[in-house]
Amino acid sequence: MRLGFIGLGAMGRPMALQLLRAGHQLELWARRPDSLRPLLEQGARACASPAELAGCAEVVFTMVTTSDDVAAIALGPDGLIQGAPAGSIHVDMSTISPQAARRIAGRLAEKDIAMLDAPVSGGVAAARAGTLAVMVGGEAGIFSRVRPLLETLGKTIVHVGGHGAGQVAKACNQMVMVASIEACAEALRLAAASGVDAGRVRSALLGGAAGSVVLEVFGGRMAARDFQAGVEARLHHKDFAILMHEASRLGCPLPVAGQVWQQINALMAHGWGGLDSVSLLKVLELAHA
């Protein structure tokens, strides 16, 4: 199938490669043309703008950072909306606000362009392995058509509901994940304060009711004191701004998420936004110093 892909960052690059390896023709556009090179060498083709790209693809994927990025690519002067044929599909896999996803979908619908919000979880390792969790919002008929493509990228593909529902699920995902990272950091901090080996505590917890992907992956980084980025904390900071704003808009109290948010703010204030979110442990250690 002729596909478009925009957003060749740490996550997007391996995802685009999966689609290419699955035998699809891939049209690319990037703000920084340098980032295209590895994929061009594998047979992808460069376009001059999102509008041109949209003109030669049945389905366009975007994987960028902010709501504004997606809006500019989809609706801007040289945006997808200027070139996409009626009946084509835009699948946005970025993590943006549910409200922005609904608004962009509404604008594209006016030109008979379908949209799905389809953010992912699992990180770079899962992107490389094609084992991401994909949370999809949008029309069921469109989801059915795109599903085989999503199965190239992920192993858990769930149609959560209408437009924005994928982003709601992703907000929930980030809340649970970062709250778990913080809880794990507090547990290992308490262990250390008690004179008990944090790594052994983690091992003891892994087999019980506190067992989780976060304890396995992020707890492992904490025990090894590896604060280099798997996922940069500044991205979780961005995600929390989205979800806490959404909760505020809905009048939905999230007491623990609110407290986690303040810990992430403390992390950012220390200048650690480029490190992994396991640096939440360092925030606790400073407070204790």
* Single residue of 246, 264, 276, 281 touching its own copies by CB under 8 A: 246
- Least separation in angstroms between CB 82 and its own copies: 31
Q: Considering only residues 83 through 122, tell me which ones interact with its own copies, judged by CB under 8 A.
A: 98, 120-122
Could you confirm whether 155 is annotated as catalytic? no
Q: Considering only residues 125 through 154, tell me which ones interact with its own copies, judged by CB under 8 A.
A: 126, 132-133, 135, 154
* Single residue of 14, 50, 83, 164 touching its own copies by CB under 8 A: 164
| Stretch near its own copies under the rule CB under 8 A, chosen from 49-57, 78-86, 199-207, 268-276 | 199-207
- Least separation in angstroms between CB 169 and its own copies: 4
Neighbours of 65 (CB within 10 A): 15
Half-sphere exposure of 87 (CA within 13 A, CB side): 2
Q: Which two tokens stand for residue 176?
A: 């649970």
What is the DSSP pairing of strand 120-121 with strand 132-137? antiparallel
Nearer to its own copies, 111 or 155 (CB): 155
Q: Does 200 bind its own copies (CB under 8 A)?
A: yes
Pick the catalytic residue from 111, 155, 170, 282.
Answer: 170
Q: Does 191 bind its own copies (CB under 8 A)?
A: yes
Q: Does 25 bind its own copies (CB under 8 A)?
A: no
Rg (CA), the chain: 20
Candidates 251, 250, 246, 274; CA nearest to 261 is 246
The set of residues, in sequence order, having a beta carbon less than 8 Å from that of 262 and lying 6+ positions away, is: none
Q: Are 73 and 102 in contact (CB under 8 A)?
A: no
Q: Tell me how far apart the alpha carbons of residues 272 and 26 are, in angstroms, rounded to a whole number.
A: 36
Report, as residue numbers or ranges, the catalytic residues. 170
